[in-house]
């Protein structure tokens, strides 16, 4: 009985240390990302347009020995300008595909510890890489998370 309690205590402490490390390391990255996004957005006086990509459902990567299936359901919000709104609307299916590809690589343990800002940062990084790879201009400034459910 004492051995079981010792294992439980060690597991809880290990999870706490890992969660603290992830939080501490992500704190510096998200501050730099927010400043970069502000500098990236032109302030032309016009209000931004928001487009939604609703009900993006992603099956998470299974851990070894995990028999249950876990999902993320997310609604994405795309910030664009009035001039680029039509182009951004036409590319919403591609945005959905990139989001599915990016988030489906996450194991449940990682997905459970991520914040909304970390999800948004991962998606924005994936979109930047996709548009750079395709040598196209990105018709939106950022993607935000409108709703996120993890099962």
Q: Which residues have CB under 8 Å from 9's CB, separation 6+?
A: none
The pLDDT of residue 63 = 76
What is the rounded average pLDDT of the residues 120-125? 91
Q: Bigger pLDDT: 107 or 16?
A: 107
Q: How many Å from the N-terminal Cα to the C-terminal Cα in the chain?
A: 32
**Is it the case that residue 127 has pLDDT exceeding 50?**
yes
Burial class of residue 25 in the structure, from the number of CB atoms within 10 Å of its CB (0-12 exposed, 13-18 middle, 19+ buried): exposed
Please state, rounded to an integer, the average pLDDT across all residues of the chain: 78
pTM of the model: 0.64
Q: Bigger pLDDT: 63 or 82?
A: 82
Strand partners, 107: 61
Question: What is the tens place of the pLDDT at every residue in 17-76?
Answer: 555 555 666 665 554 455 444 444 545 667 888 888 888 888 888 777 777 888 889 888
């Amino acid at each position: 009985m004492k051995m079981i309690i010792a294992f439980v205590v060690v597991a809880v402490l290990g999870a706490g240390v890992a969660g603290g490390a992830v939080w501490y390391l992500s704190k510096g990255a998200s501050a730099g990302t927010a400043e970069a996004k502000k500098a990236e957005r032109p302030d032309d006086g016009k209000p931004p347009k928001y487009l939604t990509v609703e009900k993006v459902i992603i099956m998470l990567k299974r851990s070894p020995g995990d028999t249950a299936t876990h999902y993320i359901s997310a609604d994405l919000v795309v910030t664009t300008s009035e001039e680029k709104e039509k182009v951004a609307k036409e590319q919403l299916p591609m945005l959905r595909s990139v989001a599915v590809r990016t988030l489906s690589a996450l194991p449940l343990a990682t997905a459970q510890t991520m914040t909304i800002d970390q999800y948004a940062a991962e998606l924005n990084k994936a979109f930047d890489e996709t548009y750079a790879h395709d040598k196209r201009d990105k018709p939106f400034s950022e993607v935000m998370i409108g709703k996120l459910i993890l099962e």
